[in-house]
Amino acid sequence: MKIIMLGAPGAGKGTQAKMIADKYGVPHISTGDIFRANIKNGTELGMEAKKYMDQGLLVPDELTVKILLDRVANDDCKNGYVLDGFPRTIPQAEVLDNALNELGDKIDFAINVDVPDENIINRMSGRRACLSCGATYHIEHIPPKAEGICDRCGKELILRDDDKPETVKNRLGVYHEQTQPLIDFYEKKGVLKSVDGTIPMEDVFQAIVNILGE
């Protein structure tokens, strides 16, 4: 069972990817994690990727897919995997598709966690973080006992720059321009399944399980 997770930043797709991986006993694969592991281990592909990253350049799609295919060739992926954060663009999806086709393989499901922009902006701008101990809160869903103060260490909580409404709007703009077209791409291939990401997290997961099967 080979799954791609789609959804806007803050839609909760990373959380769902981890839950799917746990339930079905398959790896949750994030391209960021694979890059870091290859660079740390000094692999040939990792060193090639590092050349681009050190110059502040994006790693070319072909190299990213090579690193990804190298990862999914491991034994722990024999029953499938959940891809989180890749592909992000149509060219990346096409390169991945062609590479899998050559191996006689394909993506089984593209799960889109669908959340309106307005909900995402509210959700992310309500986040608060403690820079001292790393604890995170949400002013509506997981509020601290005392407003603006971390329960764990008593230090001040902040709204991170990444979670400020104007930053979130910019990230959503990039998502709609680059990544949302993937929804049409996978729909045409007949593998797209959308779930309502505005309902409670456990219910989103149950909707995904209903699609994938027990």
In-domain check, residue 27: yes
Nearest CA to 201 out of 146, 156, 158, 138 is that of 138
Here the tokens at position 78 are 């024999």
Model confidence pLDDT, tens digit, residues 96-121: 999 999 989 999 999 999 999 999 99
In-domain check, residue 172: no
pLDDT for the residue numbered 26:
96
The number of domains in the chain is 1
Cα distance between residue 33 and residue 43, in whole Å: 14
Q: Contact, 34 vs 67, CB < 8 A?
A: yes
In-domain check, residue 123: no
User: Which sign, positive or negative, has the C-alpha torsion 134, 138, 139, 143?
Assistant: negative
pLDDT for the residue numbered 56:
83
What's the 3-state SS for 54-69? Answer: HCCCCCCHHHHHHHHH
In-domain check, residue 112: yes
Cα distance between residue 177 and residue 125, in whole Å: 22
In-domain check, residue 146: no
pTM recorded for the entire structure? 0.84
Cα distance between residue 114 and residue 197, in whole Å: 5
pLDDT band (50, 70, 90) for residue 85? confident
Terminal-residue alpha carbon distance, the chain:
12
pLDDT for the residue numbered 32:
82
For residue 207, what are the domain limits?
2-116+179-212
Model confidence pLDDT, tens digit, residues 128-183: 999 999 999 999 889 999 999 999 999 999 999 989 999 999 989 988 998 899 99
In-domain check, residue 196: yes
In-domain check, residue 139: no
What residues act catalytically?
13, 88, 127, 160, 171
CA distances from 46 to 71, 72, 95, 97, 125 (A): 12, 15, 19, 22, 35
Using the predicted structure, report yes or no on whether residue 77 has a pLDDT greater than 90. yes
Q: Contact, 24 vs 18, CB < 8 A?
A: no
User: Which sign, positive or negative, has the C-alpha torsion 77, 83, 86, 87?
Assistant: positive
| Percent of the chain clearing pLDDT 90 (strictly above) | 79
In-domain check, residue 170: no
Q: Which run of H or of E encompasses 111?
A: strand 109-114
pLDDT for the residue numbered 162:
86
Question: Which residues neighbour 188 within 8 Å (Cβ) at sequence distance 6 or greater?
Answer: none
pLDDT band (50, 70, 90) for residue 19? very high
pLDDT for the residue numbered 149:
96
Q: What CATH number did the domain enclosing 58 receive? A: 3.40.50.300
